[in-house]
Each structure stands twice: as structure tokens, then as C-alpha cells.
Structure 1
Amino acid sequence: MPTDSYTNYPEIRWTVRAQAPEAVEQSTGFNSSFALSASQIEAANLSSESANRINTVINFDRSQLANGGPAEDSFYELPQLSDTTSLLQPGTLLKVQDVTNTTSFVIPPNTALSRILYTTTDFNGTVIPASAFILWPFSPKTFKQGPTVSGCNKNSTAKALAVLWTHGTSGFFASHAPSTHRALWYADAAPFTLALAGYAVVGPDYAGLGISKSWDGTEIPHQYLLSSTSAHDALYAMQASLAAFPDHLDKHFVTMGHSQGGGVAWGVAEVLTAKGDDEFKALAEGYLGAIAGSPTTSVFSGTPGFILPWVGMMLHSIFPDFELSQWLTPLGIARTQLLKEIEGSIGVGTQLYLTGEQIYREDYNKTWYADAYGRLANAGRKTFRGPLLVVQGTQDVYVPYEVTSATVQDTCAAIPGSDLEYLVVNGTGHVPTLDATRPIWLKWIEDRFEGRALEKSGCVRTDLTSFLSLDRYQSVGNSFPQFAGLAEFSYEVPLGL
């Protein structure tokens, strides 16, 4: 790759302490009435205002759970092990919910939902259960040509081609699984769009989300931002989905992810290079490429007050001698304990950690664990199976443009001849970058299934600028799918239908 194709951006660390936004109650028509106890408020040293905000966030979060979430939904109950020899192999199908009742979901009309339980592995190689969803199109997209000599889905609706969708941070606990969220967490930003374009969307929850305990009662921590481990979750979900729906799902697939999931999608490309001829040989034969949107390639490049508690909660599962006190202050530890007790979401974490108070130690990055986990967790700078499209907005406050640029540059320098296109979007933020580039990534996916050659091969950069001046565009989304599945809520959907 020519040295002048990218500006050399150093990796940055954010130290500015953001402030938690207001959390004002809206009338949503739901009946959750959660409230922190006086002892919880005191232990976490919360003001009454902060406590009220957290109560508001939790009650809203609970309103977004389909069927009450994993604690109340029997789908997440593990089947008994009958044949430990086969069931304890990763990628094994455990349970199939062929027809998921979508009454509590807000998926688009004329899409259908299935869910599965399957086995995957954690970082240490322990086989554990996990969950995933499959969002089905009304009519599978067809192509005149196929991606291989033998072809696939040539003008036939016998099977649907798949996009393996790896989601961004939805949370840390069981109830934060996209498969239990009314809008599958990302809604129109990707899964709905993909299904409406004619693809079957296979969406792993990642280990620890949806299923939080193994058969013996052992806790399953969500090994947050560990891209290669979650990439295994994704690949095993694809393997199990093919086993569950052999007559409906084609073996050819493209991987696409965003944020945490952008790192996971990149990780899938790396894992298939490392294990594609062995552990994932069959999947590798159907793999056609990956899209990594706003990918996490540097775990600690974001706001430390937010990242450190989430990573720290599970780090002992990888480094048994790690203790939270090596990263967090006593206040940070107390608030993390509260987060665990109430299984708080990202919104709750914002209210607990982004308050201007000192919740992490300034010398955290001098510990051995920070460097070691970064080297284990980060995607990029390794051999990968191409092609890979990396999409990044220049105004992303969660995944800095400078960090992604540095990772892309280093990867291209380390692996010359790789097919990596870096699409830089001028002026867009984190999730809105997906909206700004939707026609581009849909076309990129279509080209892979059509078997077309890359428009740009090798390591290249493409810049996308807005048609109108940036100040004329809506910069962030200001609405979220609400449940209106009962007759008394029909006024909330167009024409009441």
C-alpha cells in the first residue's frame, strides 16, 4: 500500500469525563415499577436525582423486553444433556424455535423470526450454551450468477442467502440479548434493512447475553470486546443455523457488524484465516467477505470511565488474579456492584459512571492487565480472509476515526496485498454512519453474492462526503421502535394497521 494513502494518525486515549444526560420519564404504556432501594442508593453514593434517573432508565429498558426477557421466556431454558459426547462440541444445535411468536416484537411486516440455542466456547475453550435469532425475508433475494462455479440461489427462492450480523454493545447481562429485544436491538440500522433486502439475518447474541448460566449453574460472563471470542460465537451460530434450517438457509454468507460487532466481524475474517482449514472448513467454503462498521480495534481508546467497569467485571474469567481495585476507585467498585445487582444496561452505566466523579484509577493503563487484554481483544493488525470493507465516520465519539485509521494503516502495512477498502464518511457519527452508507454496503453485499470482482482491490481508501452541507442533515436518530402490538396501542402505528 502506498505510504501516502493514509495520514498517520496516532492512537488516542480519551480522558475527558463526559456528563450523564438527563433521563426524564415518558409515558410508554408499560407497567414496570422498578425503584432502587434506600440501601442500594446509599451503597453506591447516589444523589436522589441520579437514583431517579436510573429508575427511569430501567423501567424503559424493561418495556423493551419481548415476553419479559430471558428470566420469563421459556425459550432460554436449557434442554437437558442427553448425549454429552455430541452436545458438548461447539457449534451443536441445542434448541430450535422455528416460529417465534412476534406479538411482542416490533419487527417489520412480512418478516418472520426464529430463534435457536447452540453451543460455543469462551476464551478458555470451555463449551457453553448461547442464543441467536434468524430474521427471515418475505422473498429471498435472487441472483443471475452465483458466488462460486457451482452457484447458489440462481433465480431460485429455495434457500435464502445469509448475512451473519454481529451487533454492537447491547449490554453485559442476560436481558441485554438482541434476541429478546423488541427491535432486535439495531432495528432499521441493519437487521431490518437486510431482511427487507431479501437476506436471512443470522444474529448471535454473544455468550453471556440471553443465556447467563451453563448446565451446572456456572455463570457465563460476557467477555466484552474480546473480538476473536465473539467471532467464534458468530461462526458457531452460523453453523448451528445451517443445521437448524438446511432447507431454508444457503451456506453462502457475508458477515456484517458495527461497533463492538464491527470488531467481531473483523475477527471473523481473522478466525477464518487461522482456523478456516480446520475447525471452520465448511463455513469457510461459504464465506464471501466482511463489513466492519465503526469497529472496535483498540479496547481502551474510548472513555475509560465507561469501558473499564464493563471489561473489569469479567476480566477475572481470563486473568483469575485480576481484581477491580486495580482499575477502579472504591466508588467505581461500589457502582459496579450495583450495576451487577440490578443488571443495568448501557443507559444505566451512563448514569452511574459518566457523572464527573472519579470512578477509575488514573494509573489503570500502567497495569499489566490493560496491555495484555488489549493485545488479546483487539481486531486488526493480523492476517484476515478478505475482502474486508471497513466503514468509519469522522465524527464518531465512541470509536475515534484516528484510531480506526491507524489500525487500517498498520494492517495494510503488515499484510501487503490484502483486499481491504477503508470507507471514510465525512461528518457522520457512530450509528448514523450506517445510515449514510446504506446504499454502499447493500451494493457491496450484493456484489459478493453475485460473484462480481471487487471494484477496488488491494488496500485502498474511499472518501464519502455529503450531497448537501452537513448542517442541513439530521445528525442522530431521535426515535426508537415502541411496542404497539395490542389493539389499544394501534393509534401508535400508521393507519392503525
Structure 2
Amino acid sequence: MYSFRALAVIAFSLTASFANAQAPDVVEQSTGFNSSFALSTSQIEAASLSPETANRVNTVINFDRSQLANGGPAEDSFYQLPPLNDTTTALKPGILLKVQDFTNTTSFVTPPNTALSRILYTTTNFNGTVIPASAFILWPFSPKPFKQTPTGPARNENSTVKAPAILWTHGTSGFFASHAPSSHRALWYADAAPFALALAGYAVVGPDYAGLGISKSWDGADIPHQYLLSSASAHDALYAMEASLAAFPDRLDARFVTMGHSQGGGVAWGVAEVLAAKGDGEFKTLAEGYLGAIAGSPTTSVFSGLPGFILPWVGMMLRGIFPDFELSQWLTPLGIARTQLLKEVEGGIGVGTQLYLQAGEDVVRADYDETSWHAGAYARLANAGGRPFRGPLLVVQGTRDLYIPYDVTTATVRGTCDANPAGDLEYLVVNGTGHVPTLDATRPIWLQWIEDRFEGRALEKSGCARTDLASFLPLDRYQSVGNSFPQFAGLPEFSYQVPLGP
């Protein structure tokens, strides 16, 4: 559920520790961080951190801050909101606020022969309040051409006038403004999806989600990230697509496939649900270009993961939806103190791992019950699945996923198919793969699935169907996790790290 490649440096290679809900060790890999952060003595004492834990938190924060392009949203002028000139027309969702047509990628690690743009636009939170948000568009060097098919709609033989679009919905990057993928040097998922898609010829539209990138509205009100609320982030994604088409009408094809992973897998599924509900109304124009969705390792049961992860992250913003909620209903005093520290330092997943998963330290109340009113009510609002959806929908799930349990996704798929017997949902089960690596293992499949949708080919399996994928070689011969991580960008003295230099 909580997926990104940077986390692998401290967590994915130590799955045994995670299985026991313990934080992995952290070793400083480089003294060349572009950050010199250190927790204060008062912060360490208030959060009851051991010297070892404090050092680990410092290391992770310095690494995370070193991954911010141009210093992140706090220092990058792109994220400064333009003034509203006409509040009667501007305060609607899907309005384009700012366009950065050319984003200088010196501070990014995007692949050669890709180009980057960024936009600000309006969306809504779950309560319906119109708020600003940010997104990126990663452009291919050459748009992918498509052929006509006998059964498909008419297409140009070489569709090079506009780039076919992928609406990419990312997995958990964090909970604060600095965790926006548009400000991350690798756009958060790097080659796992956005780079691979752009290099395959697609324009990748990547919403940050509300609360990430832009943290305050025009009136100074905070914009919390409504974590794991799939329908809210699905609206963020659809409004980002609307704004991107308005920004680049001559460059971006209105036809698009939605693809997401983890939190974003739930969001991609949520897009299919929102279009089923509003595809003949508010999103009619977008629905006309919608070709289907891929939900990789999707969040469909908010509280099925480790409570030490989920409860603080959801609890931080829950009062914005349920005003009577108190964090003390879920967390111990230690958990509350650690959450306060997480807010102070704007920590991401790696910091949360250290704060909440230390052996012998209870951050969740012993009497916490996931069937309690607030947990149950939020799950009903947040979870994707079990409702009508606009197909086709490809759900991809690995059987050794530590964050999104295979049996949970299987149950959601079964319930969704029971509720939509005529819907086109293919469930691709990948034997032996973990959370993010499932994307790598299935890349040829989802790239072909996307191409088939643009070329108008019929589905290989219609209705509700299951496909099982096994490894070509024995599983123990494969590297199971990523072990390569970007550290520096834009500095020629580090060009020796890539083949033949710059």
C-alpha cells in the first residue's frame, strides 16, 4: 500500500522485519546529502526517541529532503498560487490556474529524451470545498503510433499529432506538501511506471492529490491530504486530466487510460467508479475519451494493513471529516507524541516506519477496534470496490505483497464481480511478487493492455475473469526487490555513474 522506491533503501530489503512489524535498521549511505537536518533535543525528548531511533530519523529525513527538486514546494516558486481574478468563475473544479510549459529538469532524474511540464488547477476535497492542487505531465520524445483494427474505431495510422495520455495515480508518497511527486526528482515512481510509460510513447498526467504540493488555499486555510479516500483522489485525478487538456489542447490526446498503484491503484479503481456515476453528467466529456483503468495492488480495505502505519496517517486528517474524532481514540500517548513529531518535520513513510514500528513501543491503543464507528464509517467512504464501475478494469495483484494482502484484493474483486456480473474486470494474479515489484514483473502485460485499448481491440477476456502469472524461472533465482536508488541529479561530476558519462 505504501509504495515508493526510496522506501526500499530502508525497508523492502528487510521484509522479515516488516513481517514482525518492526522498523528496519537505517545506515547512512552517503555523506553527500543536500540537507543537514537534525532533530532538536526537545523534539527527541517529547517523542521519547532513543538515540538510535533519532539518528535513523535524521538519516531518513536528510535523504528524503535530498530527493526534492528545486528545494521542494516550500522553495519552488511554481507552487505559489496566482491570485483569483474572478471568484465567481474561478472557484470551480477543473479550472487551470497556472501552466509551466517547460520545467527545467536539471534537478530531476527523468530519462533522456523526455520532457516535463507542471500545472496548478482546482479540485475539491471530500466535503466539496474547491481547493488548488498540482500535477505534472511527462512527455514522450515521440508519441506512440497506433494501427487501425477491424473492430476498433477509426484511428490515424500514425497518431503523432497528439500524445496518447495515461492518467497516472501514484501510490503513497506522504501526507504533506513536500511529498508531491511533481517535486520529487524521480516523480516518485520513476521507472516503475511514469518513466516506462513516457519511454513507450505516452504522455503521463500525474496528479499530486490535494494536500500534496499545495498545502494552503487562497484564504490561508490548510489543505490536508485526505489519505486513502479513493473517491476524493479520483476527483483530483479527473480534474487534473481536464486541466491538462485545457493547458495542452493541441498536444494531449483526449483519449486516456487510467493507471495507478497501491494508494493510486485504489484511486484508479475510484476513477472507474466516479465515471460510472458521473460519466453521463459532470465528466461526460472525459468519459468519451476514457478507455479503461489498471489498478495495481489497489487499496480496497483501508484498515487491513499494519495499524501502526494506518491509524496515525488516517487519524491526522480525520477530524476534517468527522469533527468529533480525537486521535486519542486510536493512539497511545506515545503514538500521539510521535504523530506530532511527524507533523513538525513533515515526515514521509520512511520516517513513519521509524516512529511507529519500533519493537516494544506501543503506539496503538490495546483496545483499538477496527469495527469502531469512526473506522467503519471512514472505510465505507474511502474503500474502492464493490460498486458499479466503468470498464474495462484490469486489477493486478502479487501473492507476496506485504502491504496489500492478496486475500483482501481477491475478496474485493469477488464482491465487485458479484455486484457487477456484466462488468469487464480481469484479475491478474502474479505468483511470488511483492508490492512495487509486481509492476516490474507485469510490465509487458500492462503495456500491451494499454496499447490494445488505444487500438480498439476486443478484450481477451470479457466479463469477470482471472489470469494467473507464474515466473519463467524458479522464484528464488529472481531479485525480489529494487536495489538501485537515485541520489544526485544535474551535477556533471557524478556523470561517471551512468554509461559513458552524460
Match in the other structure for 1:114: 117
Residues 1:363 and 2:392 aligned together? no
Q: 2:285 aligns with which of 273, 282, 294?
A: 282
Q: Which amino acid aligns with 2:167?
A: L
Q: 1:219 aligns with which of 222, 225, 229?
A: 222
Residues 1:374 and 2:379 aligned together? yes
CA distance change for structure 1 residues 206 and 28 in 2, over 3 Å: closer, same or farther?
farther
Match in the other structure for 1:104: 107
RMSD, aligned CA: 1.4
Q: Which amino acid aligns with 2:101?
A: D
Distance in 2 between residues matched to 1:484 and 1:422, nearest whole Å: 38
Alignment of 1:4-153 (within 5 A): 18-27=21-30, 29-145=32-148, 151-153=154-156
Residues 1:254 and 2:257 aligned together? yes
Match in the other structure for 2:3: none
Match in the other structure for 1:384: 389
Cα-to-partner distance string for 1:123-151 (whole Å, 9 max, x where unaligned): 00000000000000000001122899764
Residues 1:429 and 2:444 aligned together? no
The 8 Å contact of residues 147 and 449 in structure 1, kept in 2 or not, is answered as no
The 8 Å contact of residues 155 and 455 in structure 2, kept in 1 or not, is answered as no
The 8 Å contact of residues 17 and 354 in structure 1, kept in 2 or not, is answered as no
Q: Which amino acid aligns with 2:259?
A: M
Distance in 1 between residues matched to 2:151 and 2:255, nearest whole Å: 9
Q: 1:496 aligns with which of 464, 488, 501?
A: 501
Distance in 2 between residues matched to 1:166 and 1:405, nearest whole Å: 21
Q: 2:413 aligns with which of 408, 417, 423?
A: 408
Residues 1:476 and 2:494 aligned together? no
Distance in 1 between residues matched to 2:357 and 2:314, nearest whole Å: 16
CA distance change for structure 1 residues 156 and 413 in 2, over 3 Å: closer, same or farther?
closer
CA distance change for structure 1 residues 254 and 366 in 2, over 3 Å: closer, same or farther?
closer
Q: CA deviation at 1:404?
A: 0.2
Q: CA deviation at 1:283?
A: 0.2
Residues 1:394 and 2:391 aligned together? no
When normalised by structure 2's length, the TM-score is: 0.94
What is the SS of the residue equivalent to 1:114? Answer: strand
Q: Which amino acid aligns with 1:283?
A: L
CA distance change for structure 1 residues 148 and 106 in 2, over 3 Å: closer, same or farther?
farther
Distance in 2 between residues matched to 1:154 and 1:329, nearest whole Å: 62
Q: CA deviation at 1:414?
A: 1.2
Match in the other structure for 1:442: 447
What is the SS of the residue equivalent to 1:494? Answer: coil
Cα-to-partner distance string for 1:170-205 (whole Å, 9 max, x where unaligned): 000000000000000000000000000000000000
Match in the other structure for 1:12: none
Cα-to-partner distance string for 1:261-316 (whole Å, 9 max, x where unaligned): 00000000000011111110100000000000000000000000000000000001
Q: CA deviation at 1:158?
A: 0.7
CA distance change for structure 1 residues 361 and 202 in 2, over 3 Å: closer, same or farther?
same
What is the SS of the residue equivalent to 2:256? Answer: strand
Distance in 2 between residues matched to 1:49 and 1:151, nearest whole Å: 63
Distance in 2 between residues matched to 1:150 and 1:427, nearest whole Å: 38
Distance in 2 between residues matched to 1:431 and 1:437, nearest whole Å: 11
CA distance change for structure 1 residues 16 and 158 in 2, over 3 Å: closer, same or farther?
closer
Match in the other structure for 2:329: 326
Match in the other structure for 1:6: none
Listed as ranges, the gaps of 5+ residues in structure 1 are 1-14
Distance in 2 between residues matched to 1:231 and 1:127, nearest whole Å: 15
Listed as ranges, the gaps of 5+ residues in structure 2 are 1-17
Distance in 2 between residues matched to 1:235 and 1:147, nearest whole Å: 30
Distance in 2 between residues matched to 1:274 and 1:119, nearest whole Å: 21
Distance in 2 between residues matched to 1:156 and 1:309, nearest whole Å: 47
Residues 1:466 and 2:471 aligned together? yes
Distance in 2 between residues matched to 1:354 and 1:120, nearest whole Å: 34
Q: CA deviation at 1:98?
A: 0.1
Cα-to-partner distance string for 1:26-62 (whole Å, 9 max, x where unaligned): 2152331100000000000000000000000000001
What is the SS of the residue equivalent to 2:316? Answer: helix
Distance in 2 between residues matched to 1:482 and 1:361, nearest whole Å: 38
Match in the other structure for 2:209: 206
The 8 Å contact of residues 24 and 53 in structure 1, kept in 2 or not, is answered as yes
Q: Which amino acid aligns with 2:222?
A: E
Distance in 2 between residues matched to 1:358 and 1:133, nearest whole Å: 39
CA distance change for structure 1 residues 492 and 385 in 2, over 3 Å: closer, same or farther?
same
Q: CA deviation at 1:415?
A: 1.1
Match in the other structure for 1:155: 158
Match in the other structure for 2:314: 311
CA distance change for structure 1 residues 441 and 317 in 2, over 3 Å: closer, same or farther?
same
- Share of identical aligned residues, percent? 83
The 8 Å contact of residues 50 and 351 in structure 1, kept in 2 or not, is answered as yes
Q: Which amino acid aligns with 1:358?
A: D
The 8 Å contact of residues 54 and 348 in structure 1, kept in 2 or not, is answered as yes
Q: CA deviation at 1:118?
A: 0.2
What is the SS of the residue equivalent to 2:254? Answer: strand
The 8 Å contact of residues 153 and 161 in structure 1, kept in 2 or not, is answered as no
Q: CA deviation at 1:87?
A: 1.2
What is the SS of the residue equivalent to 1:55? Answer: helix
The 8 Å contact of residues 105 and 116 in structure 2, kept in 1 or not, is answered as yes
Q: CA deviation at 1:491?
A: 1.7
Q: CA deviation at 1:493?
A: 1.9
Distance in 2 between residues matched to 1:131 and 1:361, nearest whole Å: 36
Residues 1:168 and 2:188 aligned together? no
CA distance change for structure 1 residues 310 and 146 in 2, over 3 Å: closer, same or farther?
farther
CA distance change for structure 1 residues 277 and 243 in 2, over 3 Å: closer, same or farther?
same
Q: CA deviation at 1:496?
A: 1.2
CA distance change for structure 1 residues 277 and 140 in 2, over 3 Å: closer, same or farther?
same
The 8 Å contact of residues 484 and 490 in structure 1, kept in 2 or not, is answered as no
Q: CA deviation at 1:367?
A: 2.3
What is the SS of the residue equivalent to 1:29? Answer: coil
Q: Which amino acid aligns with 1:278?
A: G
CA distance change for structure 1 residues 326 and 437 in 2, over 3 Å: closer, same or farther?
same
Q: Which amino acid aligns with 2:477?
A: R
What is the SS of the residue equivalent to 1:255? Answer: strand
Q: Which amino acid aligns with 1:299?
A: V
What is the SS of the residue equivalent to 1:409? Answer: helix
